[in-house]
Chains A and B, each alone.
Chain A
């Protein structure tokens, strides 16, 4: 088992003919992901290394039964592309694009919430279920199948922590990047719910950062609804207030959104918080036992 993406994933890539879109679509296919279609308006009828390209997401769904969309288009077109995917009835929309205007994200989020489609991202590295499917830009070579579910607001930090875990012999059920924007389509809570229900996952590692209150909300949720052990890491203890630390969502406003407050909220609910990526893997060993 894994969550969200696996052998049943039939992927359509919006923006497949762009440089990055092509590169990552083919990498995902090389990993074993079933990439069934691409969409670029005006390029319908062409193909990208054998992957058929359609003018609309509706055409792609009708002709290939795609059930997952990956959005790789530039920021100013991304909201439109996500809404098109939702309108075409695609249940899972993974958006890699970084730099989407906040008001676009607000509209998209509030619209999707009324329907059945799930959005992961934007500004995220995607989802990898080792041995099954990779949708996005996560470098799959560092990860193998296993029992640790990993959810994160950051890309490279996920690889760092995933790699520390891998060096101690742990593999992953799924690795989900929920993204570093102020309005992520999916929250830690959404992923905690899925990992809790996933039979393969025995430990959930969540990797947060400064800004917003998603970690605090997750802490409350964990206490009520999660029976599996959860281990956390928070980045940004040294971040000064009022400065955006790279991610649009990573900003301490006034006294809110600090790393210390987040770590405290999690620890108050019994979630252990590693102080650095190495310590996260050490605590994982304490919880699950040695794997090497």
Chain B
């Protein structure tokens, strides 16, 4: 789960990472009130989960009440690369002397956390790596020991940051590592890490990703989920406990097991079709889950045909067939379905479907055959 800047900064403040004073706001009067409280100049920042906010005009400096009002009104509702701005963060402006970059990331390959520091901040990390690979210093941290003082010192000296801030930057890294571990984050990124004119070290931005699997330990973070940013189909699936990812094609897909569903999308694409979604009905799918899944898939109006690709292990094909029959009774879909049932109780499942004689439901024996058929049907309907 990706947090908005101000949510990340709330976690930073909780663990002693210095951040500028600020307040979130969802309306212009709220933003103006926040600015008045903080005292000018303030920075009004769009809260969206996408980079490049500044370039898009989503971050503006306000020197007085009139400017605060003007900028807040302009930024609220703005579209930044497909994300609508629903929230603002009003922050006391900082006097910038230098901008660094720092992050704690989860290195899957080494299976260890990795701390990173660069004296070239304020720009894209990839850009830094391109311009001067030596400028980005990285060190792995033993998760059983945690970040030690020497890690911070080494990174600070090797990255060539100003000597007077080596110690406070090291302290900042230690606190960011606390955020990383104690909040179950998989990414903590500060860009820019600011050195003010009075040589204070401050986190001017915050990018935090928290592990979804650990949210049970962090009810406060779980509440930060921004449902308004979610796609309506994805939200509906989430509420029903289904694993669904919206894509932009017209072939609805349902399968059991993440790997098989990914493979199904690929096979549909190979047959010349465009998948509309990823939907994993899960292991041991029961009839009820199948009915629910059909509703989610069909709530996407672009769907012209639906493919069920089931290999029954723990999942029983007769349960899947029952779910589909129930779905047809409840929803009466008007698009064709292609169903491929293989594995546990496949014969029973196919027999149930044959008996029900559902309108516009085609059964196929193989995954490839089913993919070709559904693409043909989606093409004919389009």
Contacts and interface: CB of A to CB of B under 8 A. Distances in A.
Interface of A: 75-76, 99-104, 106-107, 109-111, 125, 137-139, 141-142, 152-160, 163, 180, 182-183, 207, 209-213, 217, 233, 235-240, 243-250, 254, 259, 275-278
B367 A160 contact: yes
Given A103-B143, A156-B311, A156-B313, A209 B259 contact: yes
B202 to A, nearest CB: 27
B213 interface: yes
Contacts of A157: 257, 259-260, 262-263
Contacts of A154: 257-260, 262
A76 B257 contact: no
B259 A180 contact: yes
A110 B106 CA distance: 13
Given A102-B211, A110-B111, A155 B266 contact: no
A110 B112 contact: yes
Nearest to B275: A238
Given A107-B143, A155-B313, A183 B108 contact: yes
Interface in B256-312: 256-263, 265-270, 275, 278, 280, 283, 311-312
B313 A276 contact: no
Contacts of B245: 240, 243-245
Nearest to A162: B311
A72 to B, nearest CB: 13
Interface in B111-142: 111-113, 126, 142
B98 to A, nearest CB: 27
A277 B368 CA distance: 9
Interface residues of B, number: 52
B10 interface: no
Interface of B: 106, 108-109, 111-113, 126, 142-144, 181, 184, 186, 211-214, 216-217, 243, 245, 247, 255-263, 265-270, 275, 278, 280, 283, 311-315, 342-344, 366-368
10 contacts: A76-B217, A102-B186, A103-B211, A104-B214, A110-B143, A153-B259, A154-B260, A239-B262, A245-B278, A277-B263
Contact of B243 (A156, A209, A236, A246): A246
A160 B346 CA distance: 13
A137 B259 contact: no
A47 B25 CA distance: 59
Contacts, number: 165
A212 B312 CA distance: 28
B269 A139 contact: no
Contacts of B144: 107, 110-111
B270 A276 contact: yes
Q: Which secondary structure characterizes the binding site on chain A?
A: loop
Contacts of B263: 157, 160, 233, 235, 276-277
Contacts of A278: 366-368
Contacts of B217: 76, 101
Contacts of B283: 137, 155-156
B269 A238 contact: yes
Contacts of A245: 245, 258, 261-262, 278
Nearest to B185: A103
A289 B217 CA distance: 53
Contact of B216 (A76, A156, A239): A76
Given A102-B184, A139-B313, A237-B269, A183 B111 contact: yes
B178 to A, nearest CB: 13
A140 to B, nearest CB: 10
Contacts of B278: 239, 243, 245-246
